[in-house]
Amino acid sequence: MDSHTKKILVLGATGHCGLGVVDRACARRNIGAVTALVRNKERAEKLFADILAKDGVRDKLTIVEG
């Protein structure tokens, strides 16, 4: 797997979990995609708003409810 296709899955019991991890993961250049698995997608999107606002991050971050 080359550096452009690497993915990281960030697991969190609530939207609060993994916020810093998501931010750091999105900032890493060698990760192609970040998936945050949260219990409440709406709440997580509000918490991740600053991260999602950064250039190039919206394409990289996927928030999945589960």
Gap between the Cα atoms of 46 and 28, Å rounded: 22
Q: Which pLDDT does position 16 carry in this prediction?
A: 52
Q: What pLDDT, on the 0 to 100 scale, is given for residue 14?
A: 53
Q: Is residue 1 part of a domain?
A: no
Tokens describing residue 38: 């949260």
- Domain of 47 in residue numbering reads as 7-65
Residue 42 covered by a domain? yes
Give CA–CA dist 39/49, Å, rounded.
Answer: 17
2 is a domain residue: no
Close Cβ partners of 38 (under 8 Å, ≥ 6 residues apart): 12, 14, 15, 17, 18, 44, 63, 64, 65, 66
Residues 19-42 have pLDDT tens digits of 777 778 777 777 778 888 888 888
Q: Kindly report the pTM of this predicted structure.
A: 0.67
> At residue 3, does pLDDT exceed 50?
no
In a domain, residue 24? The reply is yes
Average pLDDT over residues 41-56: 84
pLDDT for 2 equals 46
Task: Judge whether 12 lies within some domain.
Answer: yes
Domains held by the chain: number: 1
Question: How far apart (Å, rounded) are the C-alpha atoms in residues 47 and 22?
Answer: 11
